[in-house]
């Protein structure tokens, strides 16, 4: 039965008067909770970003204890590693922090601090204070520095104004971008409000500029909601930031708490209690619910995990997912598309084909957030984090379809993953030369032994260049030598990635000399080339050019070997892992026809089966 939105407020007031949990009072009557399997899949993805393994799913669904939902939530939240690895992507979006990209100017990573804060479950007020007013040795300076845009920019984009915009947007639910240039046409905020906030982040008073016209006025630090000066206009920058941080985290805790609660609700339910989430002054569909959750959040000492537990164990969270409608009416969580990172990580978890992060002469398997985005993850919504992203667009697009159906990233991952699952993937070749990371400003002479080599693969690979499309390098002055003489090899500049194959069988060469370098265009500061040169004596696997050290990035057991399973059990397990259920009889029959060859599972067939599951809505949505 649908309840009109206009009946919600008096109903909630009645429930509040009778001490009924607002989280229960929003549940429409007659709605049963989801099955154990659906709940487990949903909560694993929301807390860890990873699907439950078939073993974990079976253990939960077969459990008979009355409070097993709460116990599962506690178990997932207690694994702070997996919890942090998932929620890093959420906070990287909000705090403009990214891995695998090159920052220009004074911008700094805050990854180490952010990950530690999540793993320690740092109280949210402390979290915000450290970001706005970094004073301790390990505090994250990078958040308030801002992006130093190249060339002439509008005054509304200067670093102090960026810091004000980002702080107001993320922590207070106020969008200051429009009124950073002129009085807003769509909200109550004025130009003076933006400059008042920006002054907390500026070494000196700012010239107030309206639409590129200087007004002749100078700004002073004034708080957005009260107009209070909080600190002297002549106070040092550290005092200004400290005053603002104190105001937000101590005196304006209601606003801070409600903004955070609304963001978390949006993340878990697909629709905020207030929409849009960056305008907390908009009308909430349930003010009582927002107030109750915010009050509990403050009372817990701004404990982020306590808030999550309250929501995840509620009847509201356990309702069946519904499709979004033009006019919002709460009937349960909206069906949510997996994030780019969730999609990639779960394909990796099932196949064992994780992304690699190279460091020095080795690499480690990592989750998607730790490496540079790919064409696939960008198509699936991973943003370029030059600006704050508080709400990713998850609607299906043509670009997504093209990448999922015909993109090389997913195709290569499934091709190698299927081979790995069946135990037929050949060990990758080991390099005989690795230059390490080289910047374009250097010419690097190299020399290494090639005794006994019949065929030589010479590679150039990007390693976090700012603009890899404009990088061109070469193995210059290339000379092969040995007892029978030497041979000079002409090598022109080539774009990345580049591979040159030399057949030197029977030539008796024992040494290679070269000068590694780049063309002039690669030396531009907005290209910032970072490249690694490799040599192999057998065909390289471009997905793994260096030795891999360390464990896979998940602490739960992967379970039994795929290669030991017959077709039926293999298909059952793939379905259980990907979709949290077994196939029905028709699906099992079709899957067997796809995955088998000559009565046995084949790598090509398994690759096709995996692809058919991963592109299905059942895999791609949290329901």
pLDDT at 440: 84
Mean pLDDT of 128-146: 93
pLDDT at 192: 95
User: Residue 6: is its pLDDT beyond 50?
Assistant: no
pLDDT at 149: 67
pLDDT tens-digit series, residues 293-323: 999 999 999 999 999 999 999 999 999 999 9
User: Residue 593: is its pLDDT beyond 80?
Assistant: yes
pLDDT at 11: 36
User: Residue 460: is its pLDDT beyond 60?
Assistant: yes
Place of tokens 């374009």: 440
Closest to 79 in 3D by CA, of 560, 551, 554, 557: 554
pLDDT tens-digit series, residues 245-270: 999 999 999 999 999 999 999 999 99
3-state secondary structure (DSSP) of residue 96? coil
Q: Is 220 within 8 Å of 199 (Cβ atoms)?
A: yes
Q: Is 341 within 8 Å of 54 (Cβ atoms)?
A: no
User: Residue 36: is its pLDDT beyond 60?
Assistant: yes
pLDDT at 15: 38
Q: Is 479 within 8 Å of 488 (Cβ atoms)?
A: yes
pTM > 0.85: yes or no: yes
Closest to 486 in 3D by CA, of 461, 463, 509, 518: 509
pLDDT at 559: 46
pLDDT at 156: 84
pLDDT at 1: 33
Q: Is 119 within 8 Å of 82 (Cβ atoms)?
A: no
Contacts of 518-523 spanning 24+ positions with Cβ under 8 A: 518/440, 518/471, 518/472, 518/473, 518/474, 518/493, 519/472, 519/473, 519/493, 521/470, 521/472, 522/440, 522/470, 522/471, 522/472, 522/473, 523/440, 523/441
pLDDT at 112: 94
Distance CA 67, CA 540 (A): 52
How much of the chain, in percent, has pLDDT values that exceed 90?
A: 76
pLDDT at 326: 86
Distance CA 518, CA 438 (A): 10
How much of the chain, in percent, has pLDDT values that exceed 70?
A: 94
Mean pLDDT of the chain: 91
What is the per-residue DSSP string for 559-578?
Answer: -S-GGGS-HHHHHHHHHHHH
3-state secondary structure (DSSP) of residue 473? strand
pLDDT at 362: 84
pLDDT tens-digit series, residues 423-443: 998 889 999 999 988 888 888
3-state secondary structure (DSSP) of residue 217? strand
User: Residue 220: is its pLDDT beyond 60?
Assistant: yes
Q: Is 306 within 8 Å of 78 (Cβ atoms)?
A: no
pLDDT at 76: 98
pLDDT at 361: 79
pLDDT tens-digit series, residues 555-580: 554 545 788 889 999 999 999 999 99
Mean pLDDT of 409-416: 95
Mean pLDDT of 32-42: 97
pLDDT band at 101 (very low <50, low <70, confident <90, very high): low
Query: Token digits for 266?
Result: 């949006």
pLDDT tens-digit series, residues 172-195: 999 999 999 999 998 899 999 999
Instruction: Tell me the β-bridge partners of 437.
Output: 532
pLDDT at 580: 97
CATH 2.60.120.380 assigned to 433-540: yes
pLDDT band at 542 (very low <50, low <70, confident <90, very high): confident
pLDDT at 17: 39
Distance CA 241, CA 141 (A): 12
pLDDT tens-digit series, residues 277-290: 999 999 999 999 99
Distance CA 288, CA 21 (A): 10
Question: What Cα–Cα distance (Å) separates residue 57 from each residue in 35, 113, 470, 578?
Answer: 12, 33, 48, 11
Distance CA 502, CA 208 (A): 64
Using DSSP, how many helices (H) and how many strands (E) does the chain show?
Answer: 23, 18
pLDDT tens-digit series, residues 485-531: 999 998 889 998 999 999 999 999 999 999 999 999 998 877 888 89
User: Residue 151: is its pLDDT beyond 90?
Assistant: no
Kindly report whether the peptide bond that precedes residue 126 is cis, defined as omega within 30 degrees of 0: no
What is the per-residue DSSP string for 134-190?
Answer: --STTS-THHHH----SS---GGGSHHHHHHHHHHHHHH----SGGGTSS-SSSS--
Q: Where are the domains of the chain?
A: 1-25+252-302, 31-104+324-428+544-623, 122-251, 433-540
| Of 11 and 369, the one with more pLDDT | 369
pLDDT at 175: 95
pLDDT at 105: 62
| Of 404 and 7, the one with more pLDDT | 404
Instruction: Compute how many other C-beta atoms are within 10 angstroms of the C-beta atom of residue 386.
Output: 13
pLDDT at 273: 97
User: Residue 2: is its pLDDT beyond 50?
Assistant: no
Mean pLDDT of 544-558: 76
pLDDT at 350: 95
Distance CA 191, CA 598 (A): 73
Instruction: Tell me the β-bridge partners of 210.
Output: 213
Mean pLDDT of 133-142: 93
């Amino acid at each position: 039965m649908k309840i009109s939105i206009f009946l919600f407020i008096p109903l909630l007031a009645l429930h509040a008067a009778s001490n009924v949990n607002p989280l229960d009072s929003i549940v429409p009557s007659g709605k049963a909770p989801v099955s154990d399997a659906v709940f487990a899949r949903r909560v694993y993805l929301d807390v860890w970003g990873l699907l439950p393994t078939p073993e974990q799913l079976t253990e939960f669904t077969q459990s008979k204890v009355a409070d097993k939902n709460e116990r599962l939530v506690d178990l997932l939240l207690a694994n702070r590693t997996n919890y942090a690895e998932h929620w890093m992507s959420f906070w990287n979006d909000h705090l403009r922090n990214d891995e695998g990209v090159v920052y220009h100017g004074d911008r700094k990573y805050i990854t180490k601090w952010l990950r530690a804060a999540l793993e320690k479950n740092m109280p949210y007020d402390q979290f915000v204070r450290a970001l706005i007013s970094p004073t301790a040795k390990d505090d994250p300076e990078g958040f308030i520095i801002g992006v130093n845009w190249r060339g002439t920019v509008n005054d509304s984009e200067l670093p102090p104004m960026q810091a004000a915009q980002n702080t107001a947007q993320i922590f207070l639910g106020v969008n200051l971008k429009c009124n950073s240039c002129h009085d807003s046409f769509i909200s109550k905020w004025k130009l003076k409000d933006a400059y008042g906030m920006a002054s907390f982040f500026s070494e000196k008073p700012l010239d107030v500029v309206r639409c590129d016209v200087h007004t002749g006025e100078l700004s002073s630090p004034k708080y957005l909601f009260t107009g209070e000066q909080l600190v002297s206009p002549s106070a040092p920058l550290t005092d200004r930031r400290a005053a603002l941080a104190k105001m937000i985290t101590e005196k304006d805790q209601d606003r801070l708490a409600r903004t955070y609660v609304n963001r978390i609700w949006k993340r878990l339910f697909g629709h905020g209690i207030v929409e849009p989430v960056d305008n907390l002054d908009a009308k909430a569909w349930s003010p009582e619910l927002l107030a109750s959750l915010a009050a509990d959040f403050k009372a817990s000492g701004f404990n982020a995990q306590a808030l999550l537990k309250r929501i995840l164990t509620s009847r509201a969270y356990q309702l069946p997912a519904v499709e979004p409608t033009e006019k919002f009416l709460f009937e349960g969580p909206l069906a949510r598309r997996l994030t780019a990172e969730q999609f990639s990580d779960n394909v990796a978890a099932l196949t064992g084909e994780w992304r690699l992060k190279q460091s020095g002469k080795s690499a480690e398997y990592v989750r998607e957030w730790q490496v540079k985005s790919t064409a696939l993850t960008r198509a699936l919504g991973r943003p370029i984090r030059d600006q704050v992203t508080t709400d990713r667009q998850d609607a299906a697009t043509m670009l997504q379809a093209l990448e999922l159906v015909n993109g090389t990233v997913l195709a290569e991952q499934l091709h190698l993953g299927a081979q790995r699952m069946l135990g037929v993937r050949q060990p990758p070749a080991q390099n005989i030369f690795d230059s390490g990371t080289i910047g374009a400003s250097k010419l690097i002479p190299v020399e290494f032994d090639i005794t006994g080599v019949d065929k030589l693969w010479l590679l150039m690979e990007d390693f976090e260049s700012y603009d890899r499309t404009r990088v061109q390098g070469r193995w210059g002055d290339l000379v092969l030598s040995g007892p029978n003489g030497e041979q000079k090899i002409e090598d022109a500049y080539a774009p990345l990635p580049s591979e040159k194959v030399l057949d030197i069988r029977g030539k008796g060469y024992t040494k290679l000399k070269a000068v590694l370098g780049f063309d002039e265009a690669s030396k531009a500061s907005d290209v910032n080339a970072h490249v690694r040169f490799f040599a192999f004596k057998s065909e390289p696997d471009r997905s793994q050019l260096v030795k891999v050290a360390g464990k896979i990035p998940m602490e739960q057991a992967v379970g039994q070997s795929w290669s030991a399973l017959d077709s039926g059990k293999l298909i059952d397990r793939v379905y259980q892992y990907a979709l949290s259920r077994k196939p029905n009889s028709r699906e099992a029959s079709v899957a067997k026809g796809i995955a088998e060859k000559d009565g046995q599972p084949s790598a090509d067939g398994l690759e096709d089966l995996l692809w058919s599951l991963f592109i299905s809505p059942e895999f791609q949505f949290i329901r």
